[in-house]
Amino acid sequence: MLITPTTIADIKILTPRRYEDTRGYFSEVYNSRTLAQSGLAFHPLQENQSMSRQPGTVRGLHFQRPPHPQSKLVRVLRGAIFDVAVDIRHGSPTFGRWVGAELTADGGEQIFIPAGFAHGFCTLQPDTEISYLVDGFYSAECDSAIRWNDPSLDITWPEFAGAVLSDKDASAPLLAERGADFHWSPAA
């Protein structure tokens, strides 16, 4: 598995190796030992899946607050997305900065997003399906969001992003309107 750093050290792009033949391919998409050897301690407890019918669908920017935060490993099962992770750890040198990456089913790329980051994506193709491995169970009382187009974040979304939004995502608060849900420390 190829593990590629991004401009924010805690966010990684993982590209599993594919073994192809005339039938198609085989790929090991998750291996806790491989990730641990690369410095990523991630032990999923739940898998979520979403499907978005229309290109331009934005889901996010979502996260779970403590005491039930979640780290995520996101991959595309069908279609393509522009995926975004925003550092929301107060005190972090990269607080409020974001990383974006295109993930495709054809390429098999995945993005690892640790707790303390808000996550969202915009679909680039019709009928796009996403799988999220998460290391914490869903908690309705800790479920949170930041507005996807918060001007202070200055995220460079695809031109047609936001064509389809949930009411929850459209009315999410700005980052400046949220409390300090996460705090960064050099040892984290």
Tokens of 78: 């069908």
pLDDT tens for 103-123 read: 999 999 999 999 999 999 999
Residue carrying the six token digits 């491995």: 133
pTM of the model: 0.94
Candidates 81, 76, 66, 95; CA nearest to 153 is 95
Residues of the chain with pLDDT below 50 are none
Distance CA 105, CA 153 (A): 27
Of 43, 132, 138, 183, the active-site residue reads 132
Tokens of 92: 């972090």
For 93, what's the count of Cα atoms within 13 Å in the CB-facing half-sphere? 6
**Which residues, including other chains, have CB under 8 Å from residue 56's CB and lie 6 or more apart?**
122, 123, 158, 160, 161, 162, 163, 164
Check residue 87 and give its pLDDT: 98
Catalytic residue at 19?
no
Check residue 176 and give its pLDDT: 95
Tokens of 3: 């593990």
Strands (E), 55-177: 58-64, 72-78, 80-87, 89-90, 98-104, 110-113, 117-123, 128-134, 143-145
Catalytic residue at 132?
yes
Distance CA 34, CA 122 (A): 29
Of 62, 68, 119, 183, the active-site residue reads 62
Check residue 137 and give its pLDDT: 97
Say if CB 102 and CB 80 are below 8 A apart.
yes
- Give SS3 for 33: helix
Say if CB 169 and CB 157 are below 8 A apart.
no
Check residue 186 and give its pLDDT: 83
**Which residues, including other chains, have CB under 8 Å from residue 61's CB and lie 6 or more apart?**
84, 86, 118, 119, 120, 145, 146, 147, 148, 150, 172
Say if CB 85 and CB 118 are below 8 A apart.
yes
pLDDT tens for 171-185 read: 999 999 998 999 998
Tokens of 129: 């399906």
